[in-house]
Amino acid sequence: MEGDKLYSKQTDDFPVLQTERLLLREIQNEDALDILEYLSDEDVMKYYGMEPFQSLEDVLEEVAWYKSIRMKQTGIRWGITLKENGKVLGSCGFLNWDKRHYRTEIGYELHKNYWGKGLASEALRAVVQYGFEHMRLERIQALIEPPNLSSQSLLEKHGFLCEGLLRSYEFTCGKMDDLYMYSLIKKDFNDRRAQTND
């Protein structure tokens, strides 16, 4: 789906993105039980930079953070839902949005039961397209732990390039982590789309 066919807006101007199988929408407090299901999973949280969530209070704090970055215009996070049932099975979105430099970071996670079905790829494609077409972004970057091969593969599939290793870049879960810096710039995104449309 291209351009304005990709999304519509809710009453509060939150953009709703649609793909073949997914509806990406604003996350609400009412989604907390669905979210706890995957954010409490050690496998899902392995490279998240946080310990697995223990309670609904943990989830509600995360939802409040989603709302705060939207309000401050430093990011936006979509809940990934299946069109068929509306259940939130992950999230994808932008953080550390720097309007002055037209760049942002992208992050995502998905319920383990839905791994390997192409859903993360479908969500990522829609979010990246929205970022370049409607947020005036010139660069989208991602910070990935070296052992997280599946995330590296996902990004590379969508044209992201690994620019290098940031050594001891982040302190999370009691340790210093090295992180790969991946990026996709608007020119490369447009060139890839032009090639696929030829």
Listed by start position, the domains of the chain span 3-139
Mean pLDDT of the chain: 92
| DSSP tally for the chain: helices H, then strands E | 6, 9
Query: Which pLDDT does position 12 carry in this prediction?
Result: 65
The residue behind tokens 């995957």 is 38
Residue 186, pLDDT above cutoff 50: yes
Distance linking the first and last C-alpha atoms of the chain: 16
Give me Rg for the CA atoms of the chain.
Answer: 16
* Residues found in the chain: 198
**SS3 at position 152:** helix
d(CA 47, CA 39) in angstroms, rounded, equals: 12
Does domain 3-139 match CATH 2.60.120.10? Answer: no
Query: Which pLDDT does position 15 carry in this prediction?
Result: 95
Over the stretch 99-155, which tens digit does the pLDDT of each residue have? 999 999 999 999 999 999 999 999 999 999 999 999 999 999 999 999 999 999 999
Q: What percent of the chain has pLDDT over 90?
A: 83
